[in-house]
């Protein structure tokens, strides 16, 4: 590792530890299985996001794609979402991620921590992408609409993503933190209305048009992605974010990686996120596919500066 790259790596690690609430995750997290809904509240987050691609699994079986490297994407990140008072029902987001690409620390977490603890064989490496800096930036616009409970939980929008990995224009629509009384008339008059105070559901359908980048020289020209999640937290009747939240998501992606014949590699992921006030952590994994190769796993740790300094106005829920 040369001196400039080593210096940037050190700076990124310091930023991550300092920052180490939900905000939008930087690309390519959405195609690794991370939760990717638009922000329902104003956020300004900093932190670190890590995604790992493994060419081989523990048995040495190769992932059938045109990417012949193993790599770990180590991004220091910033994400800003704003709901505009003068444009009622509209929100915007800009998310930036950049950092040195290399085997660590994602190889250590995968092999020395998780696989060792579970008794799995360590994942092998062949050629690796390292001593380079990768970066991605995303910008999006979202329109929010109210449901039966008058909270704005239905959304439609789109955006652009670009950087060293790939380029993408995307559109998305779905529901965010929907309660039973958002969808079922007179639910609040039933004995089960207490569930509304603690349980929420989210969904997203996403379509992307993709082009190549410095890392992915061959890529599927389009992607369909579907995400479903359920979350638990003390929502009550508040218009703001819950003080804490646990969210579990499932994601199906038609795939951005292609095999030697040009066919896309379809992927299925799970993700688990925990938020406590301004602090948030999340991890996603492809183990639901019973494999350990390709876009295999990732994690993020972030801090929401708006919540940290109690600047929480401007949410979309009413």
Query: 23-71 pLDDT, tens per residue?
Result: 688 889 999 999 999 999 999 999 999 999 988 877 777 887 888 888 9
Q: What is the pLDDT of residue 313?
A: 46
Q: What is the pLDDT of residue 135?
A: 97
The mean pLDDT value for 212-233 works out to 94
Angstrom distance (rounded) from CA 314 to CA 318: 10
- Is residue 185 scored above 70 in pLDDT? yes
Q: What is the pLDDT of residue 228?
A: 98
Q: What is the pLDDT of residue 164?
A: 96
> Could you check whether the bond before residue 105 is cis, i.e. omega within 30 degrees of 0?
yes
| Residue-by-residue DSSP string for 204-258 | EEEEEEEEE-SS-SS--SEEEEEEEEEEES--TT-SS--SEEEEEEEEEE--S-B
Q: What is the pLDDT of residue 317?
A: 52
Angstrom distance (rounded) from CA 61 to CA 79: 37
More confident residue, 206 or 313: 206
Sign of CA dihedral 77, 93, 253, 198: positive
- Its CATH architecture, for the domain 3-308, is Beta Barrel (2.40)
182 near 147, Cβ under 8 Å?
yes
Q: What is the pLDDT of residue 9?
A: 44
> Could you check whether the bond before residue 28 is cis, i.e. omega within 30 degrees of 0?
yes
pLDDT digits (tens, 9 = 90+) for 263-310: 888 999 999 999 999 999 999 999 888 787 888 899 999 999 999 988
20 near 303, Cβ under 8 Å?
yes
The set of residues, in sequence order, having a beta carbon less than 8 Å from that of 221 and lying 6+ positions away, is: 209, 210, 211
What is the helix (H) or strand (E) element at residue 307, kind and residue range? helix 305-308
Angstrom distance (rounded) from CA 124 to CA 146: 49
The set of residues, in sequence order, having a beta carbon less than 8 Å from that of 10 and lying 6+ positions away, is: none
- Is residue 10 scored above 60 in pLDDT? no
The mean pLDDT value for 108-121 works out to 87
Nearest to 214 by CA among 58, 71, 26, 14: 71
Q: For 309, which DSSP code?
A: T
What are the φ/ψ torsions at residue 275 (nearest 5 degrees)? Answer: -125, 135
Helix segments in 224-274, DSSP class H: none
pTM of the predicted model as reported, rounded to 2 decimal places: 0.87
Distances (CA, A) of 291 to 31, 48, 149, 153, 220: 16, 26, 42, 35, 21
Domain boundaries, the chain: 3-308
Helix segments in 150-269, DSSP class H: 180-183
What is the helix (H) or strand (E) element at residue 292, kind and residue range? none
The set of residues, in sequence order, having a beta carbon less than 8 Å from that of 197 and lying 6+ positions away, is: 234, 235, 236, 237
84 near 91, Cβ under 8 Å?
yes
């Amino acid at each position: 590792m040369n001196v400039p790259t080593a210096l940037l790596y050190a700076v990124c690690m310091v930023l991550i530890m300092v920052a180490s609430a939900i905000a939008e995750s930087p690309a390519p997290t959405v195609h690794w299985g991370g939760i990717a809904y638009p922000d329902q509240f104003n956020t300004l987050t900093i932190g670190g996001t890590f995604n790992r691609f493994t060419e081989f699994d523990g048995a040495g079986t190769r992932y059938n794609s045109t990417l012949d490297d193993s790599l770990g994407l180590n991004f220091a990140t910033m994400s800003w979402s704003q709901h505009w008072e003068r444009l009622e029902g509209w929100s915007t987001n800009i998310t930036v991620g950049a950092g040195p690409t290399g085997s660590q620390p994602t190889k250590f977490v995968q092999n020395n921590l998780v696989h060792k603890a579970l008794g799995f064989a360590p994942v092998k490496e062949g050629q690796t992408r390292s001593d380079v800096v990768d970066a991605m930036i995303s910008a999006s616009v979202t329109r929010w609409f109210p449901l039966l409970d008058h909270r704005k939980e239905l959304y439609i929008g789109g955006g652009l993503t670009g950087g060293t990995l790939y380029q993408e224009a995307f559109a998305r629509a779905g529901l965010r933190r929907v309660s039973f009384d958002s969808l079922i008339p007179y639910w609040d008059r039933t004995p089960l209305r207490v569930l509304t105070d603690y349980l929420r559901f989210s969904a997203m359908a996403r379509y992307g048009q993709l082009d190549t980048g410095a890392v992915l020289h061959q890529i599927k020209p389009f992607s369909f992605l579907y995400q479903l999640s359920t979350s638990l937290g003390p929502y009550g009747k508040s218009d703001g974010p819950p003080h804490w939240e646990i969210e579990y998501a499932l994601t199906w992606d038609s795939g951005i990686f292609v095999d030697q014949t040009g066919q896309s590699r379809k992927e299925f992921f799970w993700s688990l996120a925990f938020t406590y006030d301004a602090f948030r952590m999340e991890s996603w994994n492809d183990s639901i596919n019973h494999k350990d190769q390709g876009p295999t796993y990732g994690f993020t740790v972030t801090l929401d500066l708006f919540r940290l300094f109690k600047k929480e106005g401007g949410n979309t829920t009413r």
